[in-house]
A and B are shown apart, each in its own frame.
Chain A
Amino acid sequence: MKTNKIIKLILLLVIPFVFSNCTSKKSNQITNKEDYKAYLEVNDNKKLQDINKEIEFWQTKFDAAPNQSSYLITLASQYSRLFEIKGSIDDLYKAEKLLLEANEKFVEQNSGIHRAIARNYISQHRFKEALSHLEKAEKLGENRMGTNKMLFDVYMELGSYDSAKEKLTAIQLPNDFDYLIRLAKWNDHKGDLDTAISSMEKALKIAENENNKGLKIWVYSNIGDFYGHAGRIDDSYKYYLKTLEEDNNNTYALKGIAWISFSHERNPEQALEIINTIESKHLVPDLYLLKAEIAEFQNNKVEEAKAIKTYNEILASHDYGDMYNKYNVLLMAEKPLQVDAALKIAQKEIENRPTPESYDLLAWSYFKIGEKEKALEIIEKYTIGKSFEPNIVYHNAEILKANNKTAEIAPMKKELLASIYELGPSLESKIKNL
């Protein structure tokens, strides 16, 4: 304990900025409830009503003329939108079913349908199947550019970084929104945040010049995340608000603001107030993990257990496939009785996509089982220096520490201390103790 305090003091002297961010509450205030209060109270979602009207429109037409296969595609796109807004997994499956039916009707000869199916499978984390449909689209040829863009996305998910780089070159157009956001993703993957942000800012300009509402909403909310990561919390907040201005019902931006309240301002009550309003609009399991984390920070064991229980209940009541594998591994690895199951899921994730992120899950599972040497072997081979995600860096540091490799921890610790905003306050003391 004593040494910790000394370290803390030293760090306070060395990087006072980081620490002042984390400790002094008043000067940290960035959010202002007056800015977003109106969005918490928005109850009617016109977009949602419109989608339901569209579904009715196309379904009626399709029922009257079932030979109009293209209506299946328009219907599928409406169900995909429903999923995006409500988080309702059944709508995603409904879209898949419609697209597969359309694909059959067009005897697999329509590249656009293959891309649409691939997009659906990406959402379902069925990356290999997504790849197979994109390969079919590529073979058919129509809209090669669009296919190449999606191939980049899937190769990144699968950890095929060389192929992804090739596709990035193939889609290179300096003023193309789709290219720029992928360039941002690539640079982010490499750990070059500055370049990633500047690409994203260029994409933002294009979305604004095009006056394209959908793209604006997308880029505003994503750049909100990027700025948050760069420690530009003010800018992050500003862009979450801009997202909400364009889309009053945007739960993603609300979640971002809740995170600022919780992690930056250390105001869990305010964060929870926001999250509770999301609950009714966008019911996704991970929302309860966020609640659990906040409850944990508040030392409220009852609420924490309740949130985890709800998370598990939602997962049990719907088939989420592999979508929550990652969270489940991390959750189960903490429980001695479930850690073997965690290991099995981690192995499945590696089969699904052999990325540093998946190997992290494997290493973490072994570490929690008690096989720290095996964990070390994995991180040395697959994750150290290959992923810059703060939580993976944190896992690396813990595993190194357990293996008494203290020298390698120091630079990681510095990184992690700068990432506390993203990692969340619950990890702060653990990182300081590294």
Chain B
Amino acid sequence: MKTIKNIVATASILTSILFVGCSDDDSFTSQPIDSQTEIDFSGTYTQQDQMGRPAINTVFVSSGNKDAFNTTTPSAMGASFQSAFQTKLLALNAGYTTNLLGLDAPTFTSVLATDVLNVSTTAPTTFYDGTNVLTGRALGDDVIDVELILIFGGPMAADNPGLTSDNVGSNDKAFLTSFPYLASPW
């Protein structure tokens, strides 16, 4: 078996736990302060799961399509799943005409079926803030309400009022203002 040799400079904090058995002893030439480590990263990795926009898989992909959806490359998703998404959309909301973004069912579902998260490199990040649409996903964005409004709310976001918000508006713990941004674990 081919062993890809890799030398990664690692932070000194890690040195004590890093060493893995390596068959090629001769490749260990020196051990600088920032220890160099050889680890076997060889092999082919096969896709198990993927995700772009939040909850889209959960809401729109039927049980029978889930395995395929999780391993279809995004560039092929639209062609494969748009019509199933449209069927699902109309099953969820039989009265769907357009939504707050003015998208009719075929247009809306063709956007959704290609499950990638669009991110702006220039605008501030928001899933939807009334002005900016899909410039990424920030931790505090109430993405579920946005999706519910777009699915159930109709062109004025006024339809199906009981279905356009789950009434959970924020996380249960405050996020950090700096890296790693996510709150400490419970």
Contacts and interface: CB of A to CB of B under 8 A. Distances in A.
A396 interface: no
B2 to A, nearest CB: 15
A16 interface: no
Contacts of B67: 141-145
B63 interface: yes
B96 to A, nearest CB: 22
A331 B63 CA distance: 47
Interface in A113-153: 140-145
B72 to A, nearest CB: 14
Interface in B114-166: none
A111 interface: yes
Contacts of A143: 66-67
Interface string B50-78: 00000000000011111100000000000
A145 B46 CA distance: 14
Contacts of B65: 141
A23 interface: no
Interface string A167-192: 00000000000000000000000000
Query: Which of A111, A140, A142, A144 is packed against the most chain B CB atoms within 10 Å?
Result: A142
A276 interface: no
A148 to B, nearest CB: 11
A83 to B, nearest CB: 27
Nearest to B66: A142
A109 interface: yes
Q: Which secondary structure dominates where chain A touches chain B? A: loop
Contacts of B64: 140-142
Nearest to A109: B63
Query: Which of B63, B65, B66, B67 is packed against the most chain A CB atoms within 10 Å?
Result: B63
A111 B67 CA distance: 12
A110 B64 CA distance: 11
A144 B64 CA distance: 9
Contacts of B62: 141
A145 B49 CA distance: 13
Contacts of A145: 67
A111 B65 CA distance: 12
Nearest to A110: B63
Contacts of B66: 141-143
A145 B70 CA distance: 13
Nearest to A111: B63
A140 B66 CA distance: 10
Nearest to B44: A175
A140 B65 CA distance: 9
Nearest to B186: A57
Interface in B12-67: 62-67
B66 to A, nearest CB: 4
B1 to A, nearest CB: 11
Contacts of A141: 62-67
A111 B61 CA distance: 14
A110 B66 CA distance: 12
A171 to B, nearest CB: 13
A366 to B, nearest CB: 48
B60 to A, nearest CB: 14
Nearest to A137: B63
Interface string A190-209: 00000000000000000000
Contacts of A110: 63
Interface string A88-130: 0000000000000000000001110000000000000000000
Interface of A: 109-111, 140-145
Interface of B: 62-67
7 contacts: A110-B63, A111-B63, A140-B63, A140-B64, A141-B64, A142-B66, A143-B66
Given A111-B63, A142-B67, A144-B67, 12 more contacts: A109-B63, A110-B63, A140-B63, A140-B64, A141-B62, A141-B64, A141-B65, A141-B66, A141-B67, A142-B64, A142-B66, A145-B67
Q: Which 6 A-B pairs have the closest CB atoms?
A: A141-B64, A140-B63, A142-B66, A142-B63, A141-B63, A144-B67
